A and B are shown apart, each in its own frame.
Chain A
């Protein structure tokens, strides 16, 4: 079972570059979300989606865009990368019935 798959695992960007972090899940979960994790800050919610075509902002949405065209995919776009976006990014999904969250393995992003 693949579960939640994130790509790439590691990425280095220059300030001002754009990129997309990919996330896919094969569990037919309605709910998907993106978190960033910084030292001493825990996991902070960036954006989330409760189903295809529906997205909403989390705690730290600035600088990030998302879309949910299918149930399976939930990409996170950085339009103009900034050093403050250096972090570990986790994609997660859960079903609407059970609240257990399944995380991807993470994407380590460095912006220089």
Chain B
């Protein structure tokens, strides 16, 4: 079945440093979504990418969808303590109602 892997599993950064998480799917995705989960909370939708090679920005967050629609990345510039949490990518295969989540990257910030 479809597998979605994320790297790294954990990332510790000094406040103000940049952070990147990568997402790779074993199958082509019709779209990819990113979610953030604060410690003790539930996942919250951040963004959806649909087009091959698409790039979207939300303030300090930059999201990319690969040309082959099998990989994606999330980059955070100048991290802040509010960025703490686990970031998940998720994507359905074509013609598939199931949404498969990546394993997540847990970001911690060192003040």
Contact = CB atoms under 8 A, between A and B. Distances in A.
Interface of A: 31, 33, 35, 40-45, 48, 50, 56, 58-59, 90, 99-106
A100 B48 contact: yes
A104 B43 CA distance: 9
Contacts of B90: 43, 101
A40 B45 contact: no
A90 B42 contact: yes
29 contacts: A40-B103, A41-B103, A42-B101, A42-B104, A43-B88, A45-B98, A45-B99, A45-B101, A48-B97, A56-B97, A58-B98, A90-B42, A99-B31, A99-B48, A99-B92, A100-B33, A100-B45, A101-B33, A101-B35, A101-B43, A101-B45, A101-B99, A102-B45, A103-B44, A104-B42, A105-B41, A105-B42, A106-B41, A106-B42
B98 to A, nearest CB: 6
Contacts of A56: 97
Interface residues of B, number: 23
Contacts of A103: 42-44
B1 interface: yes
A101 B46 CA distance: 10
Contacts of A99: 31, 33, 48, 92, 99
B28 interface: no
B102 interface: yes
Nearest to A106: B42
Interface of B: 1, 6, 9, 31, 33, 35, 41-45, 48, 88, 90, 92, 97-104
Q: Binding site of A, secondary structure by majority: helix, strand, loop or mixed?
A: strand
Contact of A59 (B1, B42, B88): B1
Highest count of chain B CB atoms <10 Å: which of A40, A44, A104: A40
Nearest to A31: B97
A41 B103 CA distance: 6
Nearest to B99: A101
A77 B24 CA distance: 33
B106 to A, nearest CB: 9
Nearest to B44: A103
